[in-house]
Amino acid sequence: MVLLRAAGGREYFASAGGEKLHTDLGIVDLKKLEGMAWGSTIESHLGKPFMALKPRAPDFFKHMRRTGAPMMPKDIGAIIAYTGICPSDTVLDAGTGSGVLAVYLGTIAKKVVTYESNEQFANNAKKNVELAGLGNVEVRHGDILEEIGRLEGPFDAVTLDLQDAARAAAGAYRVLLPGGFLATYSPFFEQAAETRKAIEEAGFSEVNTIIVGEQELEVGRRGTRPSTRVGHTGFITIARK
């Protein structure tokens, strides 16, 4: 997969060696991309330049088709940092949603198995995973609350971003490798408290609930200051088996 960047911030995903890409800046012959170095520029039939870049997770985040609230990069970063998910890991994830977290995890872990109960959302997530070219992310249409009892594991980490995460805590404990981490994400206080209680009751240790802050800087003509936009996303609970 190649990210083609053109004037005016236009971006397109394309397969090197594929058919022609039709854009408002002209037609790009994707066969010309074969064997080109990253950063090379090709021209459309109208002579407009397109720079070929190697796509990275933030590009997928920007372009993935959304079916609901995706997890934000700041929260994804914290989950990866506090669980230590690494290239030898197999990760269980639910709910998939658009697959944003699953795609980020797929760029790091050996294997990601992710469950989405809504068939339409699961199909959309499969397309997003395909766009990202990640053969190690398996999107399964199913209810994690039913499936987790049938899963054998062991998984090195489990990530849960769904309303009923509390009800999957005991199952997560069972399928985790000893020493493995669980990360849950809850947008509401009440949900976070209920999930944390279930996590503790399931036998997890090192339970920690955090909010990850992020504030942009506004750089203006009069000066530089923190952005006045303050947005809440969710509560992350990390726990260890």
Ligand X SMILES: C[S@@+](CC[C@H](N)C(=O)[O-])C[C@H]1O[C@@H](n2cnc3c(N)ncnc32)[C@H](O)[C@@H]1O
Q: Where do contacts with ligand X occur on this chain (CB under 6 A)? A: 68-71, 94-95, 97-101, 115-118, 121, 143-145, 161-164
CB of 164 to ligand X, least distance (A): 5
For residue 93, the tally of other CB atoms under 10 A from its CB is 29
* 133 annotated among ligand-binding-site residues: no
Per DSSP, helices labelled H in 99-149 are 100-106, 119-131, 144-147
CB of 146 to ligand X, least distance (A): 8
In the complex with ligand X, which residue's Cβ is closer, 50 or 155? 155
* 99 annotated among ligand-binding-site residues: yes
Q: How far apart are CA 237 and CA 199, in angstroms?
A: 9
Which one-letter DSSP state was computed for residue 33?
G
In the complex with ligand X, which residue's Cβ is closer, 71 or 236? 71
In the complex with ligand X, which residue's Cβ is closer, 142 or 154? 142
* 98 annotated among ligand-binding-site residues: yes
For residue 54, the tally of other CB atoms under 10 A from its CB is 10
* 220 annotated among ligand-binding-site residues: no
Calculate the alpha carbon distances from 127 to 23, 66, 132, 205, 214 in Å. 21, 11, 9, 37, 30
Here the tokens at position 109 are 């872990």
CB of 218 to ligand X, least distance (A): 27
Which DSSP string do the residues of 17-33 spell out, in sequence order?
Answer: T-SEEEETTEEEEGGGG
* 100 annotated among ligand-binding-site residues: yes
CA atoms within 13 A on the CB side of 186: 18
In the complex with ligand X, which residue's Cβ is closer, 25 or 198? 198
Find out whether 129 and 106 touch, Cβ atoms under 8 Å.
Answer: yes
Phi, psi of 197 (to 5 degrees): -60, -45
In the complex with ligand X, which residue's Cβ is closer, 25 or 97? 97
Q: Which residues are annotated as a binding site for S-adenosyl-L-methionine?
A: 98-101, 116, 143, 161
Q: Which residues are annotated as a binding site?
A: 98-101, 116, 143, 161
